[in-house]
Amino acid sequence: MQGSRELGFTIIELMVGIALALLIAAAATLLLSSHINENRRLLLEVRVTQDLRSAADLIVRQTRRAGHWGAASTLGLWSTAANALPNPYSALTPETGASDTIAFRYSQDASENNAVDDNELVGFRLRSGVIEAQLGDRNWQALTDSSTLVVTRLRIEPRVQTATLEPACACTGGALCPAPQVQVRSIEIEISAQAVSDASVLRAVRSTVRLRNDNVGGGCHA
């Protein structure tokens, strides 16, 4: 009777098999980790971009209203009324040059009172990585979420084109008033930010807003 032959793996074969399994598991783990990190980065990029666009859209919508005055047609510089007034909402800061702050006014009166009220003071500024919005005199509130992103740059730069118009009426005494001038104003807005949890996630948005209300000087009551 021939001796029985043992079947199975040797210790060396088992060790080689385990080593190969560990290598495959390590490669799969690295691939999964890379995939998770890419998804995480993509989500961060989307969130930062969305937050920046939301902030920029709000700044654009509000800035576009700068200078609105409900009585412009009845009491403005084009009016021949004796009580004509300059536009009380025409102020815009900065007037020239770039800044990280913008301040302006626009009428929100249901019935125009021709005076700048507390709630008609509007502005935006960059403070400690957060864009703040002004809601009334000395009332600033965060517009961006400091737990999500750090705003590294807010650049606001006005562009003003001035045109001289023909005098349309006479001043007191019959003499012509100084030729009126109109300022066509637009604002360039640039915002840059990075994710709080990953400084390598950087995004920037740029917008240009044309102010609907031109600033007019001169006219019938200069």
User: DSSP character for 77?
Assistant: T
Backbone angles phi, psi at 61, to 5 degrees: -60, -45
Least confident piece of the model among 23-37, 72-86, 125-139:
72-86
Question: 80 pLDDT band (50/70/90 cuts)?
Answer: low
The predicted-structure confidence for 147-205, as pLDDT tens digits, reads as follows 999 999 999 999 988 888 776 555 655 566 667 778 889 999 999 999 998 888 899 99
Domain positions in the chain: 40-217
The predicted-structure confidence for 57-67, as pLDDT tens digits, reads as follows 999 999 999 99
- Bridge partners, residue 170, by sequence: 176
Q: How many whole angstroms separate alpha carbon 180 and alpha carbon 125?
A: 33
Q: How many whole angstroms separate alpha carbon 217 and alpha carbon 222?
A: 8
Name the average pLDDT for the chain: 84
Question: 40 pLDDT band (50/70/90 cuts)?
Answer: confident
